[in-house]
Amino acid sequence: MLKYIIKRVCYALLTLLLLIAITFLMMHAAPGDPFARNKAITPETKAALNARYGFDKPVWMQFLVYVGNVFKGDLGTSTKYGREVTTIIGESFPISFELGIRSLIISILGGVLLGTVAAIRRGKAADTIAMTVAVIGVSVPSFIVAALLQYFLALQVNLKLGHVFFPITGWKGEMAKILPAFALALSSMATISRLMRTSMLDALNSDYIKTAKAKGLSEKRIIWKHAVRNAIMPVITVLGPITASILTGAFVVEQVFNIPGMGKFFVTSIKELDYMMISGTTIFYGAFLIIMTLLVDIAYGIVDPRVKLTDSKE
């Protein structure tokens, strides 16, 4: 297992290096100048700014310097804000991370619960309701959900009751975190619930469940101990991509609830041609997702002992 992990870490580092190179090249190939603004600056001022940020050197040299700095933990300075990219990520990522984790918990618990209930009550009202929620969740984008939640559950409830239950914006206090996390979670929750329903139906029809029933085990025990444990495997498989989509998709929800997270920097830095911010956020997210995928693979092995974390030579 250790050998497997070491190998995976090496691959991860190689992927990261490739990611840095591609991001760096594409960024420099994009037309435009990071210091361009509506009011023109003189060529001398532009040259001075390029020199200050090290953009006056050839691209290959900038790349080498950058890679060296990245491995020292220095992601450069944002040309838009004049602040260190690591400082900005350090301030904003924990917020996005917390939002992401909360959303992930809501989507997993909600998704598994809805999917399980729908499968057990197949064809009944509970199934219809659960799957309607899933269809809505998949088809309505998170920023619409966010805007609706904000308008109805925050603003209207506050106005009708004369008491602030859910703040309209911000990330201070537990109450402020509920609506954004739910808005971000809904789509993933829907995906998980549909997946869970299908795999739960398969599980419920399998022989070992019939055996369990024949042995006289209680329904509760059969479902939670036997069926769910097996049915949950596909859900774990999609957790990697779901984590990625929750983290990188937080931008719109963060914008609607005005949460000072990292999503904004990830998205707007491209428009701003803020070189260091583009590469800094991409590398950071890239590294994060690579680590997450690795952890999911390991978790897979723990949940399902049949999966061997070694190189099979079949």
Q: Which residues bind other proteins (CB under 8 A)?
A: 30-42, 44-45, 47-49, 51-52, 77, 80-83, 88, 91-92, 141, 143-144, 147-148, 150-151, 154-156, 158-159, 164, 167-171, 252, 255-258, 260, 264, 270-273
Token code pair at residue 120: 């057990």
Phi, psi of 168 (to 5 degrees): -70, -40
Closer Cβ to other proteins, 47 or 238, answer by number:
47
Closer Cβ to other proteins, 46 or 213, answer by number:
46
Q: How many CB atoms lie within 10 A of CB 156?
A: 11
- DSSP assignments along 171-213, one per residue: S-SHHHHHHHHHHHHHHHHHHHHHHHHHHHHHHHTSHHHHHHH
Nearest to 147 by CA among 104, 173, 182, 172: 182
Closest contact distance (angstroms) between CB of 66 and other proteins is 18
Closer Cβ to other proteins, 163 or 306, answer by number:
163
What are the residues whose beta carbons fall under 8 Å from the beta carbon of 292, sequence distance 6 or more? Answer: 240, 243, 244
Closer Cβ to other proteins, 80 or 194, answer by number:
80
Closer Cβ to other proteins, 31 or 305, answer by number:
31
Closest contact distance (angstroms) between CB of 256 and other proteins is 6
Closest contact distance (angstroms) between CB of 181 and other proteins is 17
Q: Is 209 exposed, middle or buried (0-12, 13-18, 19+ CB in 10 A)?
A: middle
Closest contact distance (angstroms) between CB of 97 and other proteins is 15
Closest contact distance (angstroms) between CB of 173 and other proteins is 14
Closer Cβ to other proteins, 188 or 230, answer by number:
188
CA dihedral sign, ordered 266, 272, 274, 275:
positive
Closest contact distance (angstroms) between CB of 213 and other proteins is 47
Say if residues 119 and 200 touch (Cβ distance below 8 Å): yes
Phi, psi of 77 (to 5 degrees): -115, 135
Say if residues 253 and 183 touch (Cβ distance below 8 Å): yes
Closest contact distance (angstroms) between CB of 91 and other proteins is 6
Closer Cβ to other proteins, 206 or 258, answer by number:
258
